[in-house]
Amino acid sequence: MVSSVVETKLSDWKFLGHSVHSLSIIPEAHKTKTDEEKGPAILLIHGFGASTTHWRYNLPVLGKKYEVHALDLLGFGKSSKPSGLAYGGPLWKDQIVAYVKEKIGRPTILVGNSLGGYAALASGAAMGPEAAGVVLLNAAGYFSEDKKTTKGTWATARKTVAGIFLKNALLQRIIFENLRQPSTIKRTLNQVYIDTSNVDDELVEAIRKPSLDKGAFNVFKSVFDPAGPQGKPLDELFSQLKAPLLLLWGNRDPWMNAPGKRATYKKHTPTNTKEVVLDAGHCPHDEVPDQVNSALLEWINQL
C-alpha cells in the first residue's frame, strides 16, 4: 500500500534501553532539498491497543510530500513491553520528545489519536518551537474541571467497585483475556467505526498479536491503574502549547460525547485553533482516511 515514489524504512531506535518499533517514509525529492525546503516532518501516534498499522492509509499519502514517521509507544505494537515502567502520559511524552530529537532532528508536526492524541499534545507543549504543529483526532485526556470531587452514594459505590477490580488479579486477567479475543476486537471496532468497511482481518490481527507478547497484561493493568501517572490536564497543556493546533473530530464517536467535548475544548484551546468535523467514529484516520489526509495536508500547506 506504500506508494512507489517513497522509501519506507524500519527503525532500530531504543528509548530507556527498550526497543521501539517505528516506520519512516522519505519522499525521493527530499534528497536534494534543504530542511527549510522540505517543510516540517510528521510523526503519527496511535491510540490504546493500536500500533503503526493503524496509520496504514495515511503514511503513504502523507509520505508523498513530507517526511513522515509513525512509532509504537512502549507497551504497544511491536515495541517492548518491559515490566517496571509506569505506563502513562509522562512516559509516552518523554518517548516522543526523545524520538523527535534523536531520529528526526527538526521541527515536527505531532498527530495523535485517542490516547496518542493526549501524548501528542503533552509532547507538543513540552517541545516548544520544535513542535511545528499538533493535530488531535478524538484525543483522550481530562480537564481540570473533570477532577472536581463528586459526592454521593452512587459515586462512592462506583469507587468501591473500581477498587475491588483493581485489587483482584483474577478479574483483571479474565477481562484482559476476553478483550484480546479476535471476536471481541472485531466487535469493539464495529462499535467505534460508523462505516465498518475498513474493519478487516489486517486491523484485527494488528491489535491481537501484540496482546500475546510477554508483558502485555502488565501494560494493561498499569494503564488502567488510577494510582498511575496520568499527566497534566488538557487545559493546562493547551495553555502551554505554542504550536498551531488542528482538531479533527469523528463527531459520532460512541466512546465520547464529541459535540460536548468540542464545546469544552473551545473554552481552553488557542483562538487560532482550526477545527474540522467529520461524520465518523473514534478513529477517523482509518475510517475516513481520504478526508483526514485531505484536511491534514490542507492545514499543513497553510502553516
pLDDT (tens digit, 9 = 90+) per residue, 134-182?
A: 999 999 999 998 876 455 544 555 455 555 556 677 788 888 898 899 9
Mean pLDDT, all residues of the chain: 90
Match 475498513 to its residue by C-alpha cell. 198
19-28, 123-132, 143-152, 208-217, range with the lowest pLDDT: 143-152
As a whole-number percent, the residues of the chain with pLDDT over 70 amount to: 90
Q: Which residues pair with 109 in a beta bridge?
A: 42, 133
- pLDDT for 54-88, tens place per residue? 999 999 999 999 999 999 999 999 999 999 899 99
Q: Which three cell numbers stand for residue 132?
A: 511545528
Pick the CATH number of 6-150+230-302 from 3.30.70.1020, 3.40.50.1820, 3.40.50.1100, 3.40.50.2300: 3.40.50.1820
With 50 as the cut, is the pLDDT of residue 3 above it?
Answer: no
Residues 143, 264 contacting (CB under 8 angstroms): yes
Tally of CA atoms within 13 A in the half-sphere of 294 that contains its CB: 7
Q: Which three cell numbers stand for residue 44?
A: 503519527
57-80 b/e (C-beta count within 10 Å ≥ 16 → b) = bbbbbbbebbbbbbbbbbbbbbbb
Q: How far is Cα 303 from Cα 99, in angstroms, rounded to an integer?
A: 23
Say if residue 292's pLDDT is above 90.
yes
pLDDT value for 9: 62
Identify the three-state secondary structure at position 25: strand
* Owner of C-alpha cell 488557542: 270
Whether the Cβ atoms of residue 229 and residue 86 lie closer than 8 Å to each other: yes
Q: Is the pLDDT of residue 4 over 60?
A: no
- Whether 270 shows a pLDDT value over 90: the answer reads yes
Phi, psi of 98 (to 5 degrees): -65, -40
Q: What are phi and psi of 194, to 5 degrees?
A: -75, -45
Torsional sign, CA 52, 91, 20, 9? positive
Unique residue bearing C-alpha cell 502520559: 89
Q: How far apart are CA 146 and CA 166, in angstroms?
A: 21
pLDDT band at 125; cut points 50, 70, 90:
very high
**pLDDT at residue number 159:** 52
Kind of pairing, strands 108-113 and 131-137? parallel
Residue (of 170, 303, 200) closest to 246 by Cα position = 303
- On whether the CB atoms of residues 21 and 72 are closer than 8 A, the answer is yes
Higher pLDDT, 2 or 224: 224
pLDDT tens for 206-219 read 999 999 999 999 99
What is the mean predicted confidence (pLDDT) over 109-117? 97
Given a cut of 90, whether residue 226 has pLDDT beyond it is: no
- The per-residue pLDDT for 274 is 97
Element (H, E) at 26: strand 22-27
pLDDT, average across residues 108-132: 97
Amino acid 11: pLDDT: 64
pTM of the model: 0.91
